Chains A and B, each alone.
Chain A
């Protein structure tokens, strides 16, 4: 099944890193509506890449295809040499892609720790019989999963006193943190963040930007970002892809994208 992926040596600033994820001419239509049209793009390993575009450009639809929630109508998605275009979401998570959502989707009536424990589901082994009989192996797994959950929550900066608080009672910023911790708990190689700084003040955004870099350095995570805050995008991304009306209209490093007239037009409208 493994399909070799051509590694492009285009000047991305990230050197000659190998490609972790690639989409090949991916399209998604809903009935007659073309949400994503013929988008090919690549994420080099250990890079931070952003997708930007006006509202309704198809960014989240694109994300949903990468994580298996939607199947592409046409085209292929290749992750680490494997075609995942038709793979179930939970399997994709097992393969090493994790995500957060644009509107926070925590399990509201579970505590922060329990949320992060669910994130480790794919890495756990306990089955039905094991869960009922609870042999030492299952108890041990349960303990280490709980410990790791606490560790992840501390890593994303959640105060210890709210680890056992129900997700619904957490502050907005803390909920964002828990969602990232939950995604990280599955030990992803690729982390997809859907507008993570939405609703954050500039200081919080700065801290998150620093945290993304830290993640890459310390945990070797590749990050794909959908983001509206241009300061964050320009500051953190090595490479930016711009979508408009479902089509890729520009691609390149921040300087190139900023100078691209098509991008300016998409955001500000045609001049003259």
Chain B
């Protein structure tokens, strides 16, 4: 009986996913290929990938990660290093190419095909996630938040100061605020090279594929041995460990998976924006993504997707385009965009007061908010 119900529920999610992705795929056909709205769609989709990645860490495993921006940075620098002329004198100025597009094939520097970049980004961010996670995830609760916050800030500082850090034949680590640019565009085998001067649609459709993948991973992991172990750890670490769940390893898997999606999305954004700038990796970004999850509903896959789209559009459309002039109309001398983060903060405040479980709450999380399942913790690590 329950098997059948579980199966049907799984199929429901599949159907909803396909319909949602299908509708999303048709949307840009109603607008100009270079429309600013399409640009907004692309950014929203990229943020959905990140938010759903972070959802695995925060929503599923219950690890409050305040330094998610670090993985965005790792992903972005992966493409910055390996799909641009950053290492210009590699191979005697000839460059190093793997399935690079026609245009990039003749440029100096390292140029890997975007699909290769995705794999490399997953490996780099996955390893970075493990390295950051290994010392961090031995901690409990709030301490994880503090340490991840610090790591996020460390990576940002590295990105900024990487301009001064040189190695090899005078290569800079990051170019800091000067940005690594231009970045190769996406060039998939069997498709025309993506060209943002001609049409933004291919970027959007490609990012929708990434959204599809992250949705699949979220749904599959939620209803799996690992998903159950994450809920168990979230509710009661002591009981989970006593039932045979290895705490550090299980948390690490959540952390690394979340990190990988941050990296994939970061690499995509690097290519789409054609530059990787240290300014993008500030603390506020971690909160921006976290806010999407809280707004949508911690742990709720559809909720998080909606939260990400909503906040992304508030950020790229409603504030700068729709309401930007409002302060001037009432006689104030500033644009609304400078209040960006103030507005996000206010929105989060509203959600916390009016609907703390989020727009589309997850069943368990809603219960936990009512005080169910908060295990009274005893200290595992006694002296």
Q: Which A residues contact B (CB, under 8 angstroms)?
A: 28, 30-31, 64, 67-71, 88-91, 93-94, 98-99, 101, 103, 105-110, 113-114, 117-119, 121-124, 126-128, 131-134, 138, 141-143, 145-146, 163-164, 166, 168, 182-183, 186
Which chain B residues (217-274) contact chain A, with CB distance < 8 Å?
A: 217, 220-221, 224-229, 231-232, 235-236, 238-247, 253, 257
Which of B224, B247, B372, B376 is in CB contact (< 8 Å) with A109? B372
* A101 & B226 in contact (Cβ 8 Å cutoff): no
Contacts of A182 in B (CB 8 A): 243
Q: Interface 1/0s, chain B 358-383, versus A by CB < 8 A?
A: 00000110011000110110101011
Q: Is B139 interfacial (CB-CB < 8 Å)?
A: no
| CB-based contact A164/B2 at 8 Å | yes
For A69, A90, A182, which residue has the most chain B Cβ atoms within 10 angstroms?
A90
Expressed in whole angstroms, the Cα–Cα distance for A122 and B245 within the complex equals 7
19 contacting pairs across A/B (C-beta < 8 A): A30-B382, A69-B380, A71-B382, A89-B380, A90-B241, A90-B245, A90-B246, A90-B247, A99-B242, A105-B375, A107-B232, A107-B235, A109-B372, A118-B228, A128-B226, A131-B225, A131-B226, A133-B220, A141-B225
- Within the assembled complex, what's the spacing in Å between the Cα atoms of A68 and B217? 33
| Distance A64 CA – B236 CA, assembled complex (angstroms) | 15
A69 touches B235 (CB 8 A): no
Q: Are B220 and A118 in contact (CB under 8 A)?
A: no
* Closest Cβ–Cβ distance, residue A226 to chain B (whole Å): 15
Contacts of B216 in A (CB 8 A): 132
Bound-state Cα–Cα, A141 to B226, Å:
13
Select A118's contact among B240, B367, B372, B383, beta carbons within 8 Å: B240
Is A163's CB under 8 angstroms from B2's CB?
Answer: yes
Taking A94-B244, A117-B228, A118-B240 as given, write out 6 further A-B residue pairs in contact, using a Cβ cutoff of 8 Å, ordered by the A residue number: A90-B242, A108-B235, A108-B367, A110-B228, A110-B231, A164-B2
Q: Separation in Å of the B130 CB from the closest CB of chain A?
A: 12
Q: Quick check: B236 and A107 within 8 Å, CB to CB?
A: yes
CA distance A132 to B214 in the complex (A): 10
CA–CA, A122 and B240, complex, Å: 11
Residue of A nearest to B217 (CB): A132
Contacting B239 at CB < 8 Å: which of A101, A109, A132? A101
Residue of A nearest to B222 (CB): A131
Q: How far is the CB of B230 from chain A (nearest CB, A)?
A: 10
B362 to chain A: closest residue by CB: A109
B residues near A, CB below 8 A? 2-3, 216-217, 220-221, 224-229, 231-232, 235-236, 238-247, 253, 257, 363-364, 367-368, 372-373, 375-376, 378, 380, 382-383
**What residues on B are CB-neighbors of A128 within 8 Å?**
221, 226, 253, 257
B219 → A minimal CB distance (Å): 10
CA distance A106 to B378 in the complex (A): 15
Q: Are A121 and B231 in contact (CB under 8 A)?
A: no
Given contacts A109-B368, A126-B224, A131-B224, contact A118 B243 (CB under 8 A): yes
Structural contact, B239 and A69, CB atoms closer than 8 A: no
Tell me, in angstroms, the Cα distance from A93 to B247 when the chains sit together: 13
Q: Are B227 and A131 in contact (CB under 8 A)?
A: yes
Known interface pairs A109-B231, A110-B232. Does A119 touch B382 (Cβ–Cβ under 8 Å)?
A: no
Known: A93-B242, A93-B244. A69 touches B378 (CB 8 A): yes
The contact of A69 among B217, B241, B257, B368, by CB within 8 Å, is B241
Please state if B220 and A132 are interface contacts (CB–CB under 8 Å): yes
* Set of chain B residues within 8 Å of A105, measured between Cβ atoms: 236, 238-239, 375
Write the chain B residue with the least CB distance to A109.
Answer: B364
Q: Which of B226, B232, B244, B375 is the most central at the interface, judged by chain A CB atoms within 10 Å of its CB? A: B244
Decide if A88 touches B220 in the complex (CB within 8 Å).
no
Q: Which residues of A contact B380 (CB under 8 A)?
A: 69, 89
A131 touches B242 (CB 8 A): no
Question: Are A108 and B224 in contact (CB-based, < 8 A)?
Answer: no
Q: Which of A71, A108, A126, A131 contacts B372 (CB 8 A)?
A: A108
Q: Is the CB of A88 within 8 A of B241?
A: yes
Q: In whole Å, how far is A251's beta carbon from the nearest beta carbon of chain B?
A: 26
| Closest chain B residue to A64, Cβ basis | B378
How far apart are A146's CB and chain B's nearest CB, in angstroms?
A: 7
Instruction: Chain B residues near A118: list those with CB within 8 A.
Output: 228-229, 232, 240, 243, 245
A89-B225 CB under 8 A given contacts A118-B232, A163-B2: no
Taking CB atoms, residues of chain A closer than 8 Å to B373 are 107-109, 168
Q: Which residues of A contact B363 (CB under 8 A)?
A: 109
Q: Is the CB of A119 within 8 A of B244?
A: yes
CA A105 to CA B239, docked complex, whole Å: 6
- Neighbouring B residues of A131 by C-beta, 8 Å: 220-221, 224-227
Contact B372 A142 (CB under 8 A): no
Known: A110-B231, A126-B225, A134-B220. A69 touches B238 (CB 8 A): yes
A-chain residues with CB within 8 Å of residue B2 when the two chains form the complex: 113, 146, 163-164
A142 engages B239 (CB within 8 Å): no
A103-B376 in contact given A109-B364, A109-B367, A110-B231 (Cβ < 8 Å)? yes
Q: Give the residue of B221, B376, B383 whose beta carbon is less than 8 angstroms from that of A31.
A: B383
Query: Which of A30, A69, A89: most chain B CB closer than 10 A?
Result: A89
Contacts of A67 in B (CB 8 A): 242
Q: Is the CB of B245 within 8 A of A121?
A: yes
The listed residue (B232, B236, B243, B382) touching A186 by CB distance below 8 A is B243
Residues of B within 8 A of A94 (CB): 244
In the bound complex, how far is the Cα of B243 from the Cα of A98, in angstroms? Answer: 7
Which residue from B243, B367, B372 sits with its C-beta under 8 Å from A121? B243
